[in-house]
Structure 1
Amino acid sequence: MTEQTGGTSGPAVPAATATLPPAPQDPPVVPAADVAPEATAPEPASPRLPNRALRAALRWTAAVLVMGGLGVGAVAGITSMKRTDVPGLSTQDDGRWDYPALTLPALPADAPRPYSDHNQAEVHHADLRRLLLPAPAGATVDKELDGGWTDIAHYAAEYGKDDRATVSQFLKDSALRHIAARGWTMPDGTSSRVYLLQFNSVAYSTAFHDSLFDNGGSLPFPPAGTGELAFDEDWTSETRAENTTVRAYAEAEPFGAGQVRHAYVVAGDTLALVVHSREGKAGTETVPFHQTLVLQDQLLG
């Protein structure tokens, strides 16, 4: 090997005797397979990943279990409380009366239901007094209309003085069997009367009902003490029983010293008259009147 300096040729100098400092040597090349993992992998060591994920999963599991336990406890607490004790779920009083639970009376042996195929006359074979709506809680029961039998004179007294004789004659000429009635007065002064008139068949009950109306549908025999009457616009026929006919009326405003609401129900061989009246300018309340009418209608239907 030769080295040239300044372009002048000279004798060759053995490499071993050169005075130049030794050239720096490159670091030895290490095969890729021998590189330490930390020199080539910037990520954390792989064994730490499962531990960290496991710890996170355990934390979330514990949180879910705690929340679930709290939720179950809250549900258990709510279901054990009365609805009116739960904030936001309390039901405000809408004026309904507190009637007892209603049940239909048992029928005599082999007696058909009033609207069955084997009862063309649509006769109610149950004791009529047992089909009367009971008085609600807090009511003062009328001693003369206590849920037993009554006479035509008591029923006719619901009409004006000039009409009572005519109504009484209608009943005497019909196939009337008997009348059951119940009356009561509520703490707010509302007087309620319910009459059930049973005839020999649906034909007779319908005939008497029709005699109380003229051909135009108006009332020639309005209840006593009433002024102008109008159909109860708040009443809907969708609430009546399947086999009954209901006509509801309310004394129109401005009424006098009080207001009367009344309704007729034709249910097979039986006709019901439901009356609510209350003195004062406030008049009678719509909700309890409809409630009374619906419940009595259901007992008959």
Structure 2
Amino acid sequence: MTTNQPHTTKPTAGEALLPIQLPETPLPETPLPGPPPSVAAPPRNRRLLWAVLRWTAAVVVFAAVGAGTAYGITRMERTDVPGLATQSDGRWDYPELAKPPLPSGTPEPFAEVNKAGAHYADLRALLLPAPEGATEDKALRGTDGWLATKDFLAEYAPEERDDFRQRLTDNGLRHIATRGWTTQDGTHTRVYLLHFDTAAVVDDLFGSDIAAYAAPRYLLRGTESLTHDDDFAGIARVDNVPRSVYTESRPYGAEQVRQAYLSAGDVLGVVIQSRKGAAKAVPFQQTVVLQSQLLG
């Protein structure tokens, strides 16, 4: 951008004095006139004053132009600034998240005094809300917000359900809070929070083959294989909430499935996303991390 500079004229030091030629014949006895009048050079301090004023004016002009440019950039969207234009990375617009208040006198789930790792807040209030523009899956609301175990097990392959049901029963599953939604691109998300008596129970379930690193113990409905999701390698972890994440390997059917298990005190979280064609990595990562933060 070219900035118009104020036009200034450099002050002159005065006209040069012409040499005085004396005539060859003497003039009458009259005193010789003094040298012709001339324009005196500006005093040194006046010249310095001109320089100061000139540079001050230049600085003011540049400062005004610079301030205007900075203000313009702060008022522009990122994609309007040349060199900073970026495309969306596919994240969803979730509402502002806040943990529900704890009952009076109860500790946080990972406080030192809370040996059981208990979540005293209403588990239904710890569910991640649906993002903007999504359609909520009302069938997953259950009764008073609690889902029947059989409806949760319907996510899994028929041959896996009896064994998984027995394992949940043996470990004292109390209830399941759940929420699901479908976004405009067809991604179907389900979040399940399984509540047990203590963190020790959840640690045992999570640390066993249910959520093994390489692959989960129980296959989801419509999948042939789920393996460790390498896309999560660089995603920040949430303190006190270990996770195991999986993605359906090729070849898969009409849709791809992604899954995560979260161990959060006395809560075992299960996040499932599926989409026709391919389930995108970024919204899955975003959903898993945000749900982990609500439980942490």
* Global fold match (TM > 0.5): yes
Q: 1:267 aligns with which of 248, 264, 268?
A: 264
Distance 1:193 1:70 in 2: 53
Cα contact 2:211–2:261 (8 A) shared by 1:
no
Q: 2:116 aligns with which of 100, 114, 121?
A: 121
Structure 1 residue aligned with 2:69: 74
Structure 1 residue aligned with 2:181: 184
Deviations 1:28-62 (A, max 9, x none): xxxxxxxxxxxxxxxx9775433333222211110
Structure 2: segments with no counterpart, 5+ residues: 1-38
Q: Which amino acid aligns with 2:179?
A: R
Aligned ranges 1:1-80 → 2 under 5 Å: 47-80=42-75
Aligned ranges 1:225-244 → 2 under 5 Å: 225-236=222-233, 239-244=236-241
Distance verdict in 2 for CA 1:47–1:214, change over 3 Å: closer
Structure 2 residue aligned with 1:247: 244
Q: 1:159 aligns with which of 156, 159, 184?
A: 156
Bigger radius of gyration? 1
Cα contact 2:153–2:161 (8 A) shared by 1:
yes
Q: Secondary structure at the match of 2:159?
A: coil
1:98 paired with 2:73, answer no
1:137 paired with 2:132, answer yes
CA shift, 1:213, in A, is 3.1
Distance 1:238 1:276 in 2: 18
TM-score by length of 1: 0.79
Cα contact 1:108–1:126 (8 A) shared by 2:
yes
Q: Which amino acid aligns with 2:267?
A: T
Distance verdict in 2 for CA 1:287–1:216, change over 3 Å: closer
Q: Secondary structure at the match of 1:123?
A: coil
Cα contact 1:98–1:137 (8 A) shared by 2:
yes
Percent identity over the alignment? 50
Deviations 1:196-242 (A, max 9, x none): 00100011222333455388854331111112221111113761211
CA shift, 1:85, in A, is 3.5
Distance verdict in 2 for CA 1:58–1:215, change over 3 Å: closer
Distance verdict in 2 for CA 1:284–1:55, change over 3 Å: same
Q: Secondary structure at the match of 1:213?
A: helix
Distance verdict in 2 for CA 1:216–1:88, change over 3 Å: closer
Q: Secondary structure at the match of 2:176?
A: strand
Structure 1: segments with no counterpart, 5+ residues: 1-43
Distance 1:255 1:159 in 2: 16
Q: Secondary structure at the match of 2:230?
A: coil
Between 159-168 and 266-275, the greater mean CA deviation after superposition: 159-168
Structure 2 residue aligned with 1:13: none
TM-score by length of 2: 0.80
Structure 2 residue aligned with 1:224: 221
Structure 2 residue aligned with 1:31: none
